[in-house]
Structure 1
């Protein structure tokens, strides 16, 4: 996603095979449902942040990889990221060694350092929260959005997401009207950051890109919506407010996706067990 600094429409990643990312193996096939939702929830509001990752599903529709216009310049990175990835410099991915966060807000890591590594840690953890299965539960979604966004954009964003996480979007994912999985199945929605990059760096405003892969679908015997994976890049514009980084606006683009492996796919029950038994992480630069 790309962020708009002048307040262009932002795209939120919504439920259902939503927000598909073309590119990579099977990308076109999965790209329809997700992107359709992105269009539904496009919000034309000044600097509104809509990072809703639920738009990851088996099909992503609507050109969900369009750039909303950022005015940022890739490669204008902080000293912590001074190594240019294009030069293959190790420093571009070297860890900062700092603690990612000092506390939590509604279960999400909070209390980041007021610098580029802190902004990257925040962006990665926010991507995880917005791509989680919790976003399909109304009360939990409201908590997540309020905890990590600029308060000035939260109210309108909440309403847009309530509309997006309902009706046909949930049906296409095989979920019940309340966002839960049918009996005997496990709903999987998990975003995994692979790397981060600062593209604009100012004292109280930073634009961070988060390269991610994800899992989404229904795991379990008899599932007609098997768990699939995809690759995408989220761009978040963060602002420093009340001693922490908050999302002011965000967007998403497809890829870069690696060539798929020849590994044997796990059974539905194995996937359900893995999601149940393997917990997530707190990410840090």
Structure 2
């Protein structure tokens, strides 16, 4: 797929979608992205009645959980021995790292949980508004990727995020939106899974959601939600986990909720007022 094709070049999703994509982290491929697509709300199968029922169930579960908190004693012994007391998706409770490099969390432990934490934080940076800004992009690439990939990726990113490409999504050559508009690319990791691990290398899948688009008057790319999975191959280098390559796929995506859509001003205000997080497995 060629970078000049507006529909099928790996920079845009098909079927009228407006996803912009990162250049392939392995030097070629067909499903790696930067800013995910604008999802459509057509074909929704949910109903307000269903949402109401689900809301009631959630409240009931919350009430039951609160009532069962007890006095803090460990109730593991009284649990049904046939049922698991923990799952592979439970958070570990380990604290996030304290260090940062170029504003990105760094200094992750050399273990499987450290690799998952690193992948989560790296996904946030790779699918961010900053990746479209030339100066900031250099810092991100040099911070996240192993040294022997940096030069190649800097060139590929710069060609992909050209002045012409940025103009198509309403940004100038510095990756900035028009006055009065706010470009949004806020990624939130939902969960992680290690598919391979050794002391020197790991492959981690990061299931993500987020808000993507442009908030402001006369925008042709309104902010909407998306779900995707980013797979990162990591290598231990320079006393930290570094990205060797990456790829993506759509979903898993739940049924769209029956949420009241916020105004562009409300979205822009939230982006400026609510900060992000340092993620830990």
Alignment TM-score > 0.5, same fold: yes
Deviation at 1:53, TM superposition (A): 4.9
Q: Aligned in 2, Cα 1:181/1:219: closer, same or farther, shift over 3 Å?
A: same
1:196 pairs, out of 172, 192, 196, with 192
1:14-25 superposed matches below 5 A = none
2:173 pairs, out of 149, 172, 177, with 177
2:114 pairs, out of 115, 118, 122, with 118
Deviation at 1:89, TM superposition (A): 7.6
Pairing 1:253–2:249 present = yes
Pairing 1:56–2:36 present = yes
Residue ranges of structure 1 left out of the alignment (5+ in a row) = 1-16, 23-27, 60-86
1:119-268 superposed matches below 5 A = 119-268=115-264
Q: Aligned in 2, Cα 1:21/1:224: closer, same or farther, shift over 3 Å?
A: closer
CA deviation string 1:142-162 (max 9, x = no partner): 001100111111110000001
Q: After TM superposition, where is structure 1 displaced by more than 6 Å over at least 4 residues in a row?
A: none
CA distance in 1, matches of 2:208, 2:176: 24
Deviation at 1:96, TM superposition (A): 1.8
Deviation at 1:179, TM superposition (A): 1.3
- TM-score relative to the length of structure 1: 0.74
Aligned residues: 233
Pairing 1:282–2:256 present = no
Contact 2:35 2:128 in 1 (8 A): no
CA deviation string 1:50-82 (max 9, x = no partner): x975242438xxxxxxxxxxxxxxxxxxxxxxx
1:15-94 superposed matches below 5 A = 28-30=15-17, 33-34=19-20, 37=21, 41-42=23-24, 45=27, 53-58=33-38, 90-94=86-90
Q: Aligned in 2, Cα 1:116/1:184: closer, same or farther, shift over 3 Å?
A: same
Deviation at 1:177, TM superposition (A): 2.6
Higher relative CO (CA 8 A, sep ≥ 6), structure 1 or 2? 1
Pairing 1:103–2:99 present = yes
Contact 1:18 1:33 in 2 (8 A): no
CA deviation string 1:224-279 (max 9, x = no partner): 22112211100001111121100011110110011001111111111111111111
Residue ranges of structure 2 left out of the alignment (5+ in a row) = 1-8, 40-82
Q: Aligned in 2, Cα 1:272/1:43: closer, same or farther, shift over 3 Å?
A: closer
CA deviation string 1:58-113 (max 9, x = no partner): 38xxxxxxxxxxxxxxxxxxxxxxxxxxx998421112222222311111000101
CA distance in 2, matches of 1:212, 1:153: 25
Q: Aligned in 2, Cα 1:157/1:88: closer, same or farther, shift over 3 Å?
A: farther
